[in-house]
Each structure stands twice: as C-alpha cells, then as structure tokens.
A and B are shown apart, each in its own frame.
Chain A
C-alpha cells in the first residue's frame, strides 16, 4: 500500500460515484460495499439519521449479489491501480465460503474483508462476530476456499474482542479490522416513531471513536497479524490515535459524508505530519503510545 488510508466498507459504494471527487489511484486501498451471495434489496427507508456527533444507518446490505458484482463492478475497478478489498457478508457460515469461492479465480483482488457483524439467523440473530466458535468456523471455511488474504472485521457489540481476535488469528486470518458500527436506536419525538425504518441501526462517526481506539489498542496487543483501525476518523489527528495504539492502517467511512474527498485530504495531512515531525514513515509511530 502506498499509504495507510483505506475506505470503510459501505460508505464508498464501489468507488464509481466518488471518481469526480477522489483520484482512486491515490488511495492506500479501496474497500467496497458488502457483497452477499444473492441480491439483497435492503431495509425500508428511512435508512439513515443524524445523532450527536454521529449517524445511525440501517441500509440492510443492499447489493446486487456476487455474480453481478464480478460482471459489472470488477471490470470498472480493475481499470484502477489501487489495491482492492472486497467486503463480503453472509446469512450463514456457508454463504461466506460460497462467495469466497466465486472470487477465488478473479484477478486483481488484494483481500477479502469478512463482515461478521451480520445476524446469524440460525442462532436467534446473534451476530456472527459475537460468537468465537462461529467466527472461527467462518474463517476456517473461507481459508479452505481461497488463497486471497482474509481480513476479519470485528464488531464492537461484544464483550470480548480479544478472545475472538486471538481465535480468528489461530484459524488463519491474515489481518483484523475493527470496529464495525455500534448497535443503536433513535426515536422521533414528534411522530413517536423510530427514526429508522427498521427500528435499530449501526452508529458510526466521531461519537464511537473512543470505543474504537480502545478496542484497537486491546486487540493489537493481543495478536501478531496486522490490525486495521476505524471508527470516527475525520482527519489525520484522529488517524494518528489509531496508529499510536497499534493500527497498521486505518479506514475512513462516515467522514466521506462530511466531505467526499476526506480520504485524500487525510493522506495529505498525514504526509505533512510525518514531514513536520521528521518521521520517515508511519511505521515509526505505530504502537508507540506511551502507557
């Protein structure tokens, strides 16, 4: 990666819409919106609402399915020179592996990010990423299906991400990314209805940054594989928090809604910071928090 700035899945589509605002070739990596085995139409509107220093979203993983992604989006994406990470989600353990199988023979994919924050319908809707056994199962099955490096994206809606991180590392994960959104809810006190059509949603933005920084710190100390940090990063200063607690790279999500060119602004800001402080590379500050 030419720089440690990636896009956070779900906020950047498959990059197409951002082309007028961002030179995709300058990103550290492009992580696309979650793809599932079959087409999904997603949740009823409203799918978004603003909360103090954040947003709640409940898009519901709307996407055209892996087959159409490979046919329609990948040719466009391959015209760029940026490392491509495909984020995938599933309704069952097998689905993750099935999607990996469809990507295995495709050229130009640098990584697969496993979105395990989805509800496991077979276990009463508990999130895959809340259960170490299931998380390990997903990683093992996917590892058996593909040689493409696997990044496991952890959910913050769990008591013990350190255990889960260790177990997925043992199962063969090549990297870990965190955090996904925090489960939340907001009510419209004028209409008495929930703000979101599907009632609850995922909280992102600056409000969650302290939760993210803490979890990245805990997980980065517990594993040897690289950790990608994300959660409310708006500028280089915020990104630096994550590097200091051990992240090798960071992803920018909600900030893209404040400014579509946020990713590249942060790339430049970070460069300036390194120059000013006399650091030759970001590696010099990774994990350097003084505890």
Chain B
C-alpha cells in the first residue's frame, strides 16, 4: 500500500536554533502536513540543484495545525549548514511524505520509546499520536549532553516516566541510554517498544528486546539519492522467512521490526 508522494515545495515559517547546532524548522505545505504519519520523512533540497545534487532526508518531527509541520536537524555537513541559514518565507523543494511510518497497535497501552541523539525527532510525532488514547508512555532518552536532551521538560510533564542519559554525565545516567534498558523492561514490562537513534544503539535494543520477546520497531536512516525507491542506494539487509532480503530504507522503511533487521554495525 503506497501512499501518494508529492514532489513539491514548502514555505519556511520559522527556523529556530534550539541547541548548540540543532535547529527546528517549521514548514508550510498543506498536502504533506495533512497526509504525514509518524515515522515518515521528507526529502529536502538544501539549496540550488547544481550545488546540492542529493536531497537530505529528515524525519517529520511534528504536525502542527493549519498545514504546517516541523523537522529537526543538526548541522553536520554542507547541506545542513545551508539549511541552518534559511529564513522565513524562503521556499524549499521537498518530496514527501515518504516511508511506511510506525505501526500503532490499537490495543497496546503500555508503550516504551527509546531515543538516542536526534532520534527523538520522529518519536515526538509518535508521542503526539499515542497520547490521544489512554496509554502509559515511558521514554528513555539519551544524548551527548544536557543541552541536547530536547524536550526534557515537556516530556516530564506529558509522559508517565522519563529516564535520561548523557555521554558527559551532565544529566541523568552517565553513559549510553541503553544501559537503562534492562531495568526499565523489568520495571515497566512494556507491550510495545519504538526506537530511533544511532544504529549501534538500535542493534543493542534489538538484542535485548528480542530476549524478552517484546515487539519492537526501529526507525533506520541511510544516505539517499532518489528517495522514492528507484535507485537502490539506501538498502538494508533484512530477514524474511529464513532468507536474506534487501529492503529500501526509503519506501520499504524507514521503520522495520527490530527482529527483521540484519545489523551491519
């Protein structure tokens, strides 16, 4: 089931620096805003085509009302550097919404979300959707430092439990957030787990949740070219009935069942 992907543009509403090199970009495009689901992404042209051949994919971070939606990005290279300089009323070429999105189980009430770094971006959209039913949502959030634990204050208010970890120990547990997973599973006995972040973290999560048989969905990322499933740049190996099958992270993903992924890190 493939949803329509639009080749279009969006007007910049605001571009706000929310941490050292992290920006929240609010965009207007009615079609994309109304159709998008948590876990999907948009494929953005960061500047003129001759300077930026490849678009950069960004998870949809939040659906605001009235045709607006947000993405989060960290400045890591040429494309994101260009994005950090765009202003309200600028126009950005983008393709979207792309991808399968997270599967939300109507029955499950006890949910755990795990994020590493900018992995929090699509999970906020997911939390917005999950909150609309009577669900017990707990979050494990890890980042390099206290400043990069985005939305810590909002999440503390919104969700049942929030545990944090930082590499430098400036907030919460010092070390990777994955250190807290085994005891969190003991404590909460979650029915569903959703995770997004560095692939090494996701692999460890898959191992632990696999041992406990907890249905877990992971949101992957890859460098992409076409972003629409044609060029085969963004593949990942998956297990399908004992066989190894290559899937395209752009349109077959970016969300996969953790147990299906053959990790290459």
Contacts and interface: CB of A to CB of B under 8 A. Distances in A.
Contacts of B230: 11-13, 16-18, 33, 256
A274 B264 CA distance: 52
Contacts of B223: 45-49
A interface majority secondary structure: loop
A196 to B, nearest CB: 10
Interface stretch (B109-117, B175-183, B232-240): B232-240
Interface in A242-278: 254-261
B222 A46 contact: yes
Interface in B195-245: 222-226, 228-236, 244
A206 B50 contact: yes
B81 to A, nearest CB: 13
Given A20-B4, A47-B232, A47-B233, A256 B226 contact: yes
Given A62-B232, A62-B246, A54 B53 contact: yes
A18 B49 CA distance: 19
Contact of B7 (A45, A46, A259): A259
Nearest to B4: A20
* Tier of interface size on chain A: 35 or more
B88 to A, nearest CB: 24
B5 interface: yes
A105 interface: no
B53 A53 contact: yes
Contacts of A55: 53-54, 225
8 contacts: A20-B7, A46-B223, A47-B223, A47-B235, A55-B54, A57-B231, A206-B50, A260-B7
Interface of B: 4-5, 7, 45, 49-55, 78, 93, 95, 222-226, 228-236, 244, 246, 251, 264
Interface of A: 10-13, 16-18, 20-21, 33, 41-42, 44-50, 53-55, 57, 59, 62, 205-206, 234, 254-261
